Structure 1
């Protein structure tokens, strides 16, 4: 754990406590030595964080709100909405990270602003995102990140099965279904695969490289030129 994250968690552990928390308890929860806790407490106190207490007694913060990171209300609501979408439509690991990020933001918001942020007029449904879909999404995300070739069985619109070996380039949400954009090794061209039709996915041992003519951004440029639409896309890597 980086020091900045440890200090952040330390402040959250001490905020709003009725009773002091001992250095030993803090050390156990953060998995560091008591000496590290003492140094962190001194660092926070010198930075203006009003930590009360002493060695052998414990520490607490009675009244303290960190500044809300200069976010406006609408910016915070946008982050919360994005987190809800990630939680509902992606894999469990990414969903947990999104929820953890929002928890960190909520932990340092004044109570009034926190209530305003939570009054979000959007409902994000996860009705069609079952456990199998989540597992496939997780496998694909890891394969895309690591540039690992994959193979899977796929059902077309007529429910006809086929076996594919592809280089996965990205996941695109067009507004109805998630789609895998990949470079098909058999066809030597881009192909789109709806995630709800992918079955029996396996990551292979071999990897692939992207290029100016084999990447998600290149695919998006072709789509933009063909359909005359504007689509944001990450840079080539």
Structure 2
């Protein structure tokens, strides 16, 4: 969230007049477990309140798996509640979540069948896959990298991803979700994997950036952002 979304918006600044500032408030988490995710999500109201003091124009809730671990459709519940927090502070701002953005991004490009790569342990990845399926999207194949330490997720080399995708059968999918996690870096590999599979590639960070730009009513063309950020959606 604090690396790839700013990188995408800086890339957009090279081709568009708008300029962006970035503000963050952190929910604590060290290990990606269901218990820590629940504690983390409970802290999201505090973060929304703190950020609303800065009168920001849009907020993004970064942790996809924290949202998806709370039950089907929870991204809608979370967005409404957190936007209410900003409204109560007389600083209303739209709130997008990486979970909701990924689902909406997949639908926006017309993909019905996807392949998913996630850094989580298998049980959490299965939960993410189930959440996506519940939104009417078929997950044909998926890969869990089984990295539990949150800092290790951030340190994963994105250029490992083309090799990981090459081991998956993507022949029947419409798109590839290269990283179902804003914490796992993927941006440097997006164009490589799009060329490799010949299909659209999107990530949680790309989808969140797209959803934020839409909330701001701005053009969604971002160089290096793959199909979803081509400006066509």
Could you state the TM-score of these two structures normalised by the residue count of structure 2? 0.21
Q: Which has the higher contact order (CA 8 A, sep 6+)?
A: 2
Could you state the TM-score of these two structures normalised by the residue count of structure 1? 0.21
Please identify the structure whose Cα radius of gyration is greater.
1
More helix per residue: 2
